[in-house]
A and B are shown apart, each in its own frame.
Chain A
Amino acid sequence: MNIWLSYLIDSVAFGVTFIYGSTGEILTEKAGHLNLGIPGIMCMGGAGGCLVLNTIGKISMAMVEKGMSPLPGFVFVIAGILGAILMSMLMGLIYSFLTVTLRANQNVTGLVLTTFGTGLMKVIMSKLDHTIYLEGPKEFYRWPFHMRNDPLLYLGVLFYLSIFIALAASYVLYKTKVGLHLRAIGESPSTADAVGINVTKYKYLATIIGSAIAGLGGFYYIMDYSGSREAYLSIEAYGWMAIALVIFALWRPHFTIIGSIVFGFLFSFGSQIVNIEGISINLVMTYLLKMLPYICTIIVLIFTSIRNKRENQPPQSLGLPYFREDR
């Protein structure tokens, strides 16, 4: 395969981690909640999925020992995804209980959630057996390209799901009444409340569904893109990238698909460039290139604030708690 093409496909696959993370974060932010807990939620999503796979992997092995056939692949895939979703929903529930019901400061709560999530994930993952949760089920997640040995390998089940979720999220946000209500809450919760929208319900649902989507990002990274037993150690860093991508995508889930490819491209530029013949760069440059995703995000942030176009701004009430009796 052409080296540039394989690099491009690799970027696309890498970007899927960010698509999940930032689509989830966009839903939350549209409800007016800046969830800095996304890195922790992504970690816990990964841990939840692997925990389930570890359990059913053992069941499947026991069944083989008794002379039965092992569990089919799709059971592994669905159970893992459900595990990831459930665990990250739980994290989302903690966040929304603290910030919506108890009106805690969102930045502070998010940061604690990240500390908690990354810590708990490391504790859980250190107890799991990678030969059970990873080596066998990995192939099922990389279906239909699991037999290949080029980057096409990574475009597995969760890749298609991510594209679907990003497009569906955009559709719901911009083409349905539910999305309109949600965006209204993000702009001005008191106005939305006056119109008769149940602000609390929307905020809870947006945060919890958003968390579920984000959690899949961590799970995808472990099971599919990285597929190694040390994968879980780097999820936190990609979680912060996902938050950056939200700005880069101007709060539109379908833009995250393009944005994630750009991020994936920039992020692995330093390590990919050495493979490409005819290009030789100073090694110092690779460190500068690693900054590019963050710097690009800053530039987009500055650019949108200078242009000050209404529809490209963060939701107006982002980060502010809502209390009906406040003036």
Chain B
Amino acid sequence: MTAQPQKIQTQAETSLMQQFAFLDLEPSRQAAADRLNESGLPHRRVEEWKYTDLRALLKDVPQLASAQSVVPTTAGQPLVPADFVLAVVDGIPQDLANAGANASDAAKEAVSLEIGLGDAKGFHEKPNANVDFNMALASSGYVIQVRKSAVTPIIFIDHIVSKADAITAACRHSILVESGAQAILVERFSGPEGSAYVASSGLSVIVEDGAKLTQARVVAEGDQSSHLATIGARIGTDAIYEPFVMTLGSHLVRTDVQITFDGEQSHLGIRGATLVKGKQHTDMTLDVDHASPNCTSIEQFKSVIADEAKAVFQGKIMVKQIAQKTDAKMMSQGLLLSENGEFLNKPELEIFADDVVCGHGATCGDIDEEMLFYLLSRGIPHPVAEIMMVQAFVAEAIEDTEQPEIIEAFEAILADWLASR
């Protein structure tokens, strides 16, 4: 008789499996739940989760909020003026009746919105625990379709956790930007302080040929929450995808971004700014698949770490053999504002094509003493000079955003964060 090693489930795993058992899941969700059942939550011995041991860090998966338990709520003030303002409360998408109240006729013509569970075609095919977690738990979201038009509609989705009791809020959206269309998607995630809620969010993006999607996301969840997000995007031919993720709230954040180039002559400009303090732990894990020739990508991430916080950046760029003439530039930089902060920076390039330009840079350091002294020597007091230096550090990523309103919103958030330190 051989002894079977017994797997001990954590509180979070037990709670998750019990909830799966009670949910009547359709096959694709059940398959994701089964994979999680089998593997348990990912831990540090799984390479992609080495620096974010979810099994140890996620203490519980509270009761999943359902449509019946949610009090209808409208979105807060949008980050930027938007044509469509949508709200997701405790993971449940809210009524669309007034969503386009500010939209022009042309924008209304260009955008169709539905509530439901759209496809997940944007994600890579290989299994990923974060994607499975969201796939199994999310029962709905917004299904957004943007048609070619003379206008660039702006869609704002406000993700709100309303309850003070810990809940799990899960949703998954899909956005399809059709051939030749353009759109701007702005998202915010927020929730109550002091509540150990779990927010799981999924977003499947398809940018078709000749289309362009600009995306700006602000993760400003409550201080005790866990935010587990996944973005999966496919970019067609001659298309542009420009997402920016600003992460500042939450106790634990893990964002998995998977991007695939499906066509030629396309561009990806993905940027991010992470601002952490206290005992926060944030992780941005990027997996870019250059699966087509003649595409360019820029990956630029800035992390500012104060107190005892920890920021993780894992950036993988795969250049397939077919993807000749790829031009990819990745840069991840950390700025440590304290002795006890930690920045874990892991760039990975896997290049199978021989005629490509690929570069990556990874830096980590304190505030530059020479620069700081220059500011001080002009009479700028130390705290103000430090703020200027942090703003300058983050600005490099923010300023490459094309939309002035988005830049302004990000700069205001950054200034607030710096003032609250």
- Binding partners A and B: no
Interface residues of A (CB under 8 A from B): none
